[in-house]
Chains A and B, each alone.
Chain A
Amino acid sequence: MIRHSRFIKLLEGPQTLGRGPLFWGMAGLVLLVGYAYGVLTLNFGAAYGFTLIALLASLASTAVFAAVLGYFLYFGRISGVFLGIVTLSVTLVFERFMAQTAGPEWHIGVARLNGFNGMSGMPPLTLPWFGGNIVLFPDIGLYYFVLALLVLTYLGLRILVNSKFGNVLVAIRENPERAEMLGYDVRKYQLVAFVIGAVLAGLSGTLYTAWGQYITPSSMSITAAALPIVWVAVGGRGDVTATLIGTLAVLAAFQALTIYGSQYALVVMGLLLVATVLVAPEGLIVTAAKLAGRLGRGSKESA
């Protein structure tokens, strides 16, 4: 029964497995932003660094959407397992909706939505530069651009977590009732955190679209929605570094496994998630780090 309840908790929101809310719906935002980027760039082109403006505009649209959704989630007092259910539903609604837009009547400007085949032909990200634009084709250039963004995001999140604002977020994760009884408006903090998470998901969606120059509804199917959960759950969601390392490791393993077939790789991912939930619900890296710390202390004490 205890183990069964852990699976229920995986669907839950606050204090899921003791570590903050978990959203199944971020994939929906990736989809939304991917299409937003596509619509903007297909209509307005890539000249004069417009792809960057499209990127920012797409992120702004995610922020607005997440703020509205988050408002209903948090100020409507939706919590626990229902946060997972509602966000997952939103993702699936998006996917279903986009999948039925095959007809020619579904277009925004010149951008056809194209139903299940998705939107394609968007320009890659283009950075305006002295003496000529730098076009970030899916190559070394884009790689370093994404790497730089990753470092910036990581540092930004670390600064955020260690700020006063981050302190309150940690407090809410640990004990929302106590946080409220220290005079913090818990719902506002949760909403802001949700929007930040959504914008980061949106950033990944834009980069994904700019990289592949296409976006399809199936990019955000229930499988795609579940995979990010595996990435973060395996490393451990309580720590930004553990999440980063875990995600890199799991993705590398996933890529290596797809050599043998993508379904096979998915089965392994599922098993990995089940194993993590049963053996190390806080995440493999976080649990390993705790064990190492305990062993380290033990050897010091015995010395």
Chain B
Amino acid sequence: MPILETRGLNKHFGGLHVTADVNLALDDGELHCLIGPNGAGKSTLFRLILGEHAPSSGSILYAGGDITALKSFERIRRGMSVKFQVPGIFKALSARHNLEIALQHHLEGGSLDAETDRLLAFLNLSEVATQLAGNLSHGQKQWLEIGMAISLKPKLLLLDEPTAGMSPAETFATGEIVKTLNAGGVTILAVEHDMSFVRQVARRVTVLHLGRIFAQGTVEEIVADERVAAIYLGQGHA
């Protein structure tokens, strides 16, 4: 049974159809990548799933229930979590404090400290735990936000360009973090531009183009698909 399903999801801003009739289903435990050229509607789809935008029509089902009308924080409380494209961290607080705010939902006292330590180590952030989050390197900020997102022990984790701006080594390390999480049972939907990352982690890939699902398949199928190459490179190269 899918953990997340969008049915006929549409979003238009005035006459601009950003998301058009998107039917996307994510199986429980899947690691799914969403790719597509700039302006394909990936971020809007994320915001629809998160409840930051209300769809113009269509519905979103999550864990067997219709969540279309729920507010963002209610969706989060049902086991969704997100890592934004631009790291959404609390810059004026220490890395440790950032994680504590995320963890205090379900933990306190000694177990909160222990889990914070565990997460810092898992994310290679132990050394910088007391530094202000705003002073961390770009990659560390991305990891810290992934840490905040997984603090909630989500069933479904949405990652919006988790490796944006990262070095190849950081990208690879992020890929391993994502694979470890998925092996632990977390369903993951990632928007990503970096194809090396997609190859490293994903099994199934969905390509969005002009707000519609353009292609869907395994990584190998998508990489071999000439139509997909054409929309990335422009029609002139087809």
Chain A interface (Cβ < 8 Å from any Cβ of B): 18, 164, 167-168, 170-171, 174-175, 177-178, 180-186, 238
Contact = CB atoms under 8 A, between A and B. Distances in A.
Given A174-B90, A175-B90, A180-B73, A164 B152 contact: no
B104 A167 contact: yes
A170 B72 CA distance: 19
Contacts of B90: 170-171, 174-175, 178
Given A181-B81, A182-B151, A183-B76, 20 more contacts: A18-B92, A164-B104, A167-B100, A170-B101, A171-B90, A174-B92, A175-B89, A175-B90, A178-B84, A178-B88, A178-B148, A181-B50, A181-B72, A181-B84, A182-B76, A182-B101, A182-B102, A183-B105, A185-B71, A238-B92
Contacts of A185: 71, 73
B156 to A, nearest CB: 13
Contacts of B151: 182
Contacts of A180: 72-73, 76
Nearest to A18: B92
A67 B29 CA distance: 44
Given A168-B101, A171-B101, A178-B148, A183 B77 contact: yes
B73 A177 contact: no
Nearest to B104: A164
Nearest to A183: B76
Interface size class of B (residues with CB under 8 A): 20 to 34
A300 B183 CA distance: 46
Contacts of A164: 104, 108
A175 B101 contact: no
A299 to B, nearest CB: 19
Nearest to B71: A185
B138 interface: no
B24 interface: no
Contacts of B101: 167-168, 170-171, 182
Contacts of B148: 178, 182
A200 B63 CA distance: 44
Contacts of B145: 178
A174 B91 contact: yes
B89 A178 contact: yes
B136 to A, nearest CB: 14
A177 B88 contact: yes
A185 B50 CA distance: 14
Interface string B89-112: 111110001001110110010000
B198 interface: no
A184 B77 CA distance: 8
A171 B136 CA distance: 18
A174 B91 CA distance: 7
Q: Which of A174, A175, A180, A183 has the most CB of B within 10 A?
A: A183
Interface in B49-83: 50, 52, 71-73, 76-77, 81-82
A175 to B, nearest CB: 6
Nearest to A165: B104
A181 B93 contact: no
B93 A170 contact: yes
A177 B92 CA distance: 15
Contacts of A177: 52, 84, 88
27 contacts: A164-B108, A167-B97, A167-B100, A167-B101, A168-B101, A171-B90, A174-B91, A174-B93, A175-B88, A175-B90, A177-B52, A177-B88, A178-B84, A178-B88, A178-B148, A181-B72, A181-B73, A181-B82, A181-B84, A182-B148, A182-B151, A183-B76, A183-B105, A183-B152, A184-B73, A185-B73, A238-B92
